[in-house]
């Protein structure tokens, strides 16, 4: 409390009442700014703003942005280069916080979003790696739509921003990476489809305005970023040495698709260096590729403190002013952090940076806010103005979270068909394991506060009587409590063991050394399986794969499920699958390697392709030549499905002009960039039949193996379709194949080529040869 100058504290009754009233408002979660959104051009409060060009929504965005930029001083402009953007009260522009997160639901990880009594939680979907396992692009987009609706609803009551730094579309290259859980997996096509679909769900408006944004998404972390902290190498110092070939056929495609197919509003550059250059300081990667080649319509943002990192940790520049100048000149528009607000003015005054470069950066930032309607006055009078707390955590949204988990859960083993369990035949179920009754573990990282939780134990107990023992005090499981666990397993009709990891094992800034079950978990599983009276179902809750070879071959362990981090409704979804209320259809989006891989292969080796000269086995199903525990696409169902090829060409001719060199010289491949590649394609038609007794969904994968040229992949995914079939019915599935896009490979120089000769198309056990000729 302030003390008046005469030295005597004087507090009036009125002031006491005011403090009490503020306390009531705080405790109810209804404080000023929390019940109303942040926006510019509030003409209702200040009619004079109507005369400003940038507040005139009838003008084009480019002219509005230009009008705004020319009104700003240099210091004001610099205030718009950082995530906690400054205000310009004379122009009716309030402070705006750019940093919000929405990886798998509205999150309060960034400072732009928070929860209160008004909105205590938001729908928490499964962690991305599990959603990706559904291989259902329409689901990816549907989740994005729900998340953006809840985000807009929270924005309208002052609890959230409009700019969300999600999704993470890095390739899950190494099973030890702590952030692999945030990604769609190891395959460039799946990652591309996930990224562009989720972005469309977040961004697309419901009024058909193609340039408007519901919220602004951001694809991160650009690029070749997938080492956080492994054996003394951290992301702030790591230099990813990447071949041109790997860059263009593995690391870049998801980002390219995000910009071109998803029309994302932002790309975030990463902490690491790529081939010696910090990504946020590389003009080729930023201005050259993202904005130049891919034509980003939006802004480029740094990962938080990345500019500070390349100055202070990587020592890429001698002075902070040089770092600011290099970043902005390279194409960076927004700095998450405060570095640019401190050092940009000195960079301009020192002649290192032209003010025009700052104008360019803030033009991209303002353009994004214009597309969001931030400068159109009160958002409550706009398209999404009626959304509010009633639209967050709706029953429909929570049901979608459960459905997403069900669709992603992967059944890895089921012999001899012990699952599904009968909820009427099973009179007692032993539920054991450190993840059997968890809540927060289920929502992974970059999480928010969920609407509610259903733990695995709660989900299972809803169908049958259960007994429960954790078996370990936590997932580290330094000492397994065997006796109590074995005792309940010996008495129960069936046993469910729920094991795996949590953020103490794999997380941001925490990569794994070992990829086995932590501590004495394996001992607990084996001993309980030996003691069990009935079937034993092993459930692995984790982001990364685990070497569970011991369980795969243990005949006492009848079934194995991988459930990722399954979100707020994870326990209900696990029970739905175990009891057969839902037929599992998930497929692994990443390879599960043996521990020997982690023992021999440095995480820091970025090469995707194997090197026989030194025994390096390569990475991912596309290139890896070693043994696996499970591989990409693995997963079984309670039904069986048969594929029948209806239509596929045997030969495909690429038309070339008479003067083309390949008419006179024997060519092994053709450049994709040439004119002959326009609109070349064919269809593949398949019949898929559910030959089982249970309705269910099935993912049809179309793979291709190219002629052996340019160290091409062993096979690569061309497309996938999810089809639902009732028992004993069939459906036709069609794939459209773009020859130059889908059948091409990247050569050693990074050029895309179509190999001439014999290609093999794979669907399940079916194979069809295709001869590509000129």
CB of 506 closer than 8 Å to CB of 512: yes
Q: What is the DSSP string of 418-483?
A: -PSPPTTT---EEEESTTTT-SGGGG-SS----S----HHHHHHTTS-EEEE-SSSSTT-SS--HH
CA-to-CA separations, 673 to 338, 656, 738, 774, in angstroms, rounded: 42, 13, 14, 16
Q: What is the DSSP string of 685-717?
A: EEEEEE-SSS-EEEEEEEEEE--S-TT--S-EE
Residue of 303, 493, 576, 747 with catalytic role:
303
Phi and psi torsions of 697, nearest 5°: -95, 155
Distance CA 545, CA 541 (A): 10
What's the burial of 54, exposed, middle or buried (CB within 10 Å: 0-12/13-18/19+)? buried
**CA-angle at 135, arms to 131 and 136, nearest 5°:** 85
CB of 630 closer than 8 Å to CB of 589: no
Pick the closest to residue 699 from 607, 583, 617, 612 (CA basis).
583
Pick the closest to residue 116 from 408, 449, 446 (CA basis).
449
- Residue 303 annotated in active site: yes
The two tokens of residue 122 are 């938001």
Contacts with 372 (C-beta within 8 Å, 6 or more apart), sequence order: 162, 163, 212, 213, 215, 216
The two tokens of residue 242 are 């990447």
CB of 247 closer than 8 Å to CB of 241: no
Phi and psi torsions of 739, nearest 5°: -55, -50
DSSP-derived pairing of the beta strands 84-85 and 96-97 = antiparallel
What's the burial of 427, exposed, middle or buried (CB within 10 Å: 0-12/13-18/19+)? exposed
Q: Which neighbouring-strand residues pair with 221?
A: none
Alpha helices (H) in 506-632, listed in sequence order: 521-531, 549-553, 570-578, 595-600, 620-623
Contacts with 682 (C-beta within 8 Å, 6 or more apart), sequence order: 648, 649, 652, 736, 737, 739
Pick the closest to residue 543 from 9, 53, 131 (CA basis).
131
CA-to-CA separations, 774 to 35, 218, 261, 755, in angstroms, rounded: 66, 41, 30, 11
CA 396 to chain centre: 22
DSSP-derived pairing of the beta strands 752-755 and 744-746 = antiparallel
Would you please indicate which residues are annotated as catalytic (active-site) residues?
A: 303
């Amino acid at each position: 409390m302030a003390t008046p100058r005469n030295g005597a504290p004087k507090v009036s009754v009125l002031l006491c009442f005011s403090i009490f009233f503020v306390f009531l408002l705080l405790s109810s979660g209804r404080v000023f700014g929390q019940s109303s959104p942040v926006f510019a051009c509030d003409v209702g409060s200040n009619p004079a703003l109507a005369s400003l060009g940038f507040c005139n929504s009838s003008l084009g965005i480019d002219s509005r942005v230009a009008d705004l930029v020319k009104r700003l001083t240099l210091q004001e402009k610099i205030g718009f280069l950082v995530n906690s953007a400054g205000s310009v009260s004379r122009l009716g522009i309030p402070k705006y916080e750019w940093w919000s997160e929405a990886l798998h639901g509205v999150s309060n990880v960034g400072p732009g979003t928070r929860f209160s009594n008004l909105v205590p939680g938001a729908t928490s979907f499964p962690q991305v790696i599990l959603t990706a396992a559904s291989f259902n692009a329409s689901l990816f987009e549907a989740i994005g739509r729900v998340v953006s609706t809840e985000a807009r609803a929270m924005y309208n009551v002052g609890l959230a921003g409009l700019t969300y730094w999600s999704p993470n579309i890095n390739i899950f290259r190494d099973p030890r990476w702590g952030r692999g859980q945030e990604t769609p997996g190891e395959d460039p096509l799946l990652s591309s489809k996930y990224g562009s679909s989720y972005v469309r769900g977040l961004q697309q408006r419901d009024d058909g305005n193609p340039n408007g944004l519901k919220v602004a998404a951001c694809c991160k972390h650009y690029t070749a970023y997938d080492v956080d902290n492994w054996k003394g190498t951290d992301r702030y110092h790591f230099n990813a040495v990447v071949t041109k070939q790997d860059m263009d056929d593995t690391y870049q495609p998801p980002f390219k698709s995000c910009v071109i197919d998803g029309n994302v509003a932002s790309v975030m550059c990463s902490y690491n260096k790529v081939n010696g250059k910090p990504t946020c300081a590389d003009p080729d990667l930023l201005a050259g590729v993202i904005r130049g080649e891919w034509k980003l319509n939006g802004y480029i943002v740094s990962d938080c403190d990345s500019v500070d990192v390349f100055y202070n940790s990587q020592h890429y520049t001698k002075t902070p002013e040089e770092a600011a100048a290099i970043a902005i000149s390279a194409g960076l528009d927004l700095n998450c952090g405060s570095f640019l607000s401190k050092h940009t003015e000195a960079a301009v005054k020192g002649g290192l940076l032209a003010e025009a470069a700052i104008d360019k950066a803030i033009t991209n930032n303002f353009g994004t806010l214009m597309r969001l309607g931030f400068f159109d006055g009160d958002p409550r009078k706009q398209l999404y103005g009626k959304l509010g707390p009633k639209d967050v955590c709706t029953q429909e949204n929570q049901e979608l979270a459960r459905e997403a988990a069900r669709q992603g859960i992967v059944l890895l083993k089921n012999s001899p068909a012990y699952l599904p369990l009968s909820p009427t035949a099973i009179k007692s179920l032993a539920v054991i394991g450190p993840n059997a009754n968890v809540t927060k573990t289920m929502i992974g990282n970059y999480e928010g506060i969920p609407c509610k939780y259903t733990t695995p134990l709660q989900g299972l107990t809803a169908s049958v009587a259960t007994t429960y023992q954790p078996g370990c005090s936590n997932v580290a499981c330094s000492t397994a409590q065997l006796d109590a666990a074995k005792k309940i397993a010996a008495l129960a009709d069936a046993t469910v063991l729920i094991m795996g990891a949590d953020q103490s094992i794999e997380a941001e800034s925490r990569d794994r050394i070992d990829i086995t079950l932590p501590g004495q978990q394996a001992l607990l599983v084996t001993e309980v399986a030996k003691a069990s009276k009935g079937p034993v179902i092993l459930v692995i809750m984790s982001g990364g794969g685990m070497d569970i070879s011991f369980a795969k071959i243990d005949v006492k362990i009848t079934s194995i499920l991988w459930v990722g981090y399954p979100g707020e409704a994870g326990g209900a979804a696990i029970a739905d699958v175990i009891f057969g209320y839902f037929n599992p259809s998930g497929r692994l989006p990443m390879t599960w390697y043996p521990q020997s891989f982690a023992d021999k292969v440095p995480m820091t080796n970025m090469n995707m392709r194997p090197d026989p000269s030194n025994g390096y086995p390569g990475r991912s199903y596309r290139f890896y030549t070693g043994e696996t525990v499970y591989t990409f696409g693995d997963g079984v169902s309670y039904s069986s499905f048969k594929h029948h090829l209806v239509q596929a060409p045997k030969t495909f001719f690429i038309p070339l002009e008479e003067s083309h060199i390949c008419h006179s010289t024997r060519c092994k491949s053709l450049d994709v960039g040439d004119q002959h590649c326009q609109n070349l394609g064919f269809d593949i038609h398949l019949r898929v039949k559910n030959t089982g007794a249970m309705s269910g969904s099935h993912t049809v994968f179309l793979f291709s193996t190219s002629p052996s040229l340019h160290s091409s992949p062993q096979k690569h995914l061309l497309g996938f379709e999810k089809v639902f079939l009732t028992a004993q019915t069939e459906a036709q599935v069609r794939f459209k194949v773009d020859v130059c896009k889908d059948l091409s490979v990247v050569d050693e120089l990074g050029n895309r080529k179509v190999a001439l000769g014999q290609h093999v198309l794979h669907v399940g056990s079916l194979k069809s040869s295709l001869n590509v000729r000129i």
